Structure 1
Amino acid sequence: MSDKRPAIPARPSAIRPTAVGPAAWAATAKAAWVHLVLGGYSLLVLCPILLVLVNSFKTRAAIFDDPLALPTATTFSVVGYTKVLGQSAVAGMFLNSAIVTGVSMALILLFGAMAAWALTEYEFPGRRWLSLFLAFGIMVPIRLGSVSILQTMVALDLVNTLTALVLVYVAQGLPLAVMILSEFILQVPRELKDAARCDGVGEFEIFFRVVLPLLMPAVATVAVFTMVPIWNDLWFPLILAPGESTQTITLGVQQFIGQFATDWNAVLAALSLAVLPVLLLYALASRQLIRGITAGAVK
């Protein structure tokens, strides 16, 4: 009996690569173009911040000689930070900005979330008109009413107080906060809220324990969009709280700018320090911010 077995055809040593079609090349080119545009925009946004930061560590002469150059051993200087941090008033300005921004953000998030819950969950007379009124508050800049706001604060004896700034910033940030949070509350499944009501949970408890934890991406988005205009605002601190004890850091930087001479080292150092809280907030809330912005983009 023969031991020969039928020969098995040899397997190909390698799999032939598939040809890349025009659709794949078009998708790759589109992705590369999108990344190029976003990278260019990011560079455009970051360049002024980097320019301020780099020049804050240079001497005055080096700033004017070559503002785009990096600090060297001969041009490196921290005299601006020494002047800024050596003044006790600067610490008070940072504290004023932190108090105004923190209290305003907390009130905007609290009242904005509660108003959004009421507008989306309950039916009551005037609900549509109230929503339109809030939308109108987004379209009309609050600075158009600066004269009336100043007259009101004078009548209430709130000029040169942080309370005046908090009230204005809360009124400024509430419309946008309500609109953003309303859209997110509408995405919360009604079955989840109805199940809580069937278990005997009260409305306040449903809002704070069931709905609010699901709104963290939206809350982070509103917090970032609210903090930046408040922290960087110069207009209302200038007209409502120009006193030495109530100056914010944005207004306080102006003391280094004179009519005939400007201490650019101190100005750039103060601006660099003023940017840090905004960058810190973005670093802490960036993931929630991206989730909040992209929520609902993919169904």
Structure 2
Amino acid sequence: MRLSHRSLTHSALVHLILGGYTIIALFPVILIAINSFKSRKAIFRSPLSFPDTDSFSLIGYETVLKQGDFFGYFLNSLTVTVVSLFFVLLFGAMAAFALSEYRFRGNTLTGLYLALGIMIPIRLGTVAILQMMADLQLVNTLWSLILVYTAQGLPLAIFILSEFMRQISDDLKNAGRIDGLSEYVIFYRLVLPLVRPAMATVAVFTMIPIWNDLWFPLILAPGEETKTITLGAQVFIGQFVTNWNAVLAALTLAIVPVLILYVIFSRQLIAGITSGAVK
């Protein structure tokens, strides 16, 4: 009972800390959403107040929907993010399973090599990446972004998932082998369901940098047909004049998918983060 009470206390403390952090992290999001429904004068006059009958305005959303192809930008971002997440989770889980399950010469060095991507920013290779995409004729295509974001997300995915997979009982996997299950069936039916919280954690932490990224869409896919929503929002930011109503409206609409993903995976995300704290 003492151990159970201690675990419950740790779990409640972690949930309290995460709840407080969520409130702090959501404050800028709420502030952006509130000001997106105000007139330009009201944004600068009282940025912390809620819109009223005098300050309420939808001019920002009207501008976003009229200028540029906002729905096309949104679809591009959604396509790049979903496909990149699929490849990151698939290849990351497969590589993590191989590193955690099989012992071979160079296992540790391979894991360290794959983990280098966490410490070395991929943006350092922008020139080489651009040259590579030009040689492959992938500039101004969504595939160029998908390939880069997949490579960017794999190191963290392998690092997290391999640690979780090492905690899975060998008796369970050996029992499956005795029953005649192949390694692929063991991986998909036995291992993946047990690391679902870790998969959700990787998905959330991988999606946000992809969705919010401006650097690689600006370098690799700046064309009108391949613009992402973050790059498309830059249309309203000028050197001398910035349409703040449209910028805030575009950012508010861009935040919605991230919030939906967080709500869907929040329980799995917290379980993945706190799994080592409540043991």
TM-score, normalising length: structure 1 = 0.86
After superposition, the Cα gap between the structure-2 partners of 1:53 and 1:74, relative to the gap in structure 1 and judged at 3 Å, is same
Distance 2:186 2:274 in 1: 25
Q: Identify which range, 82-91 or 55-64, moves more after superposition.
A: 82-91
Distance 1:269 1:50 in 2: 12
Residue in structure 2 matched with residue 25 of structure 1 by the alignment: none
Residue in structure 1 matched with residue 59 of structure 2 by the alignment: 79
Residue in structure 2 matched with residue 224 of structure 1 by the alignment: 204
The one-letter code sitting in structure 2 at the alignment partner of 1:284 is: I
Would you tell me which structure has more helix in proportion to its own residues? 2
Residue in structure 1 matched with residue 257 of structure 2 by the alignment: 277
Residue in structure 2 matched with residue 253 of structure 1 by the alignment: 233
Residue in structure 1 matched with residue 4 of structure 2 by the alignment: none
Larger radius of gyration: 1
Q: Identify which range, 77-86 or 184-193, moves more after superposition.
A: 77-86
After superposition, the Cα gap between the structure-2 partners of 1:101 and 1:217, relative to the gap in structure 1 and judged at 3 Å, is same
Per the TM alignment, residue 76 of structure 1 is displaced from its structure 2 partner at its CA by 0.3
After superposition, the Cα gap between the structure-2 partners of 1:196 and 1:237, relative to the gap in structure 1 and judged at 3 Å, is same
The CA RMSD measured in Å over matched residues stands at 1.8
The one-letter code sitting in structure 1 at the alignment partner of 2:270 is: I
The answer to which structure, 1 or 2, has the higher relative contact order (CA under 8 A, 6+ apart) is 2
Structure 2 residue corresponding to 1:140, chosen from 93, 110, 120:
120
The one-letter code sitting in structure 1 at the alignment partner of 2:126 is: S
After superposition, the Cα gap between the structure-2 partners of 1:83 and 1:60, relative to the gap in structure 1 and judged at 3 Å, is same
The one-letter code sitting in structure 2 at the alignment partner of 1:156 is: L
5+ residue gaps, structure 2: 1-8
Distance 1:103 1:207 in 2: 21
Distance 2:268 2:20 in 1: 24
Distance 2:94 2:162 in 1: 10
Query: 1:157 and 2:123 equivalent?
Result: no
Query: 1:47 and 2:27 equivalent?
Result: yes
Distance 1:207 1:44 in 2: 39
Per the TM alignment, residue 196 of structure 1 is displaced from its structure 2 partner at its CA by 0.4
Residue in structure 2 matched with residue 182 of structure 1 by the alignment: 162
The one-letter code sitting in structure 2 at the alignment partner of 1:72 is: D
Q: What is the identity percentage for the equivalent residue pairs of Structure 1 and Structure 2? A: 63
Per the TM alignment, residue 129 of structure 1 is displaced from its structure 2 partner at its CA by 1.5
**Alpha-carbon deviations, 1:69-128, whole Å to 9, x = none?**
211101101111122123461000000000000000000000000000001111223222
Distance 1:122 1:91 in 2: 46
Per the TM alignment, residue 295 of structure 1 is displaced from its structure 2 partner at its CA by 1.1
Local SS of the residue matching 2:69: helix
Work out the number of aligned pairs and report it. 268
5+ residue gaps, structure 1: 1-27
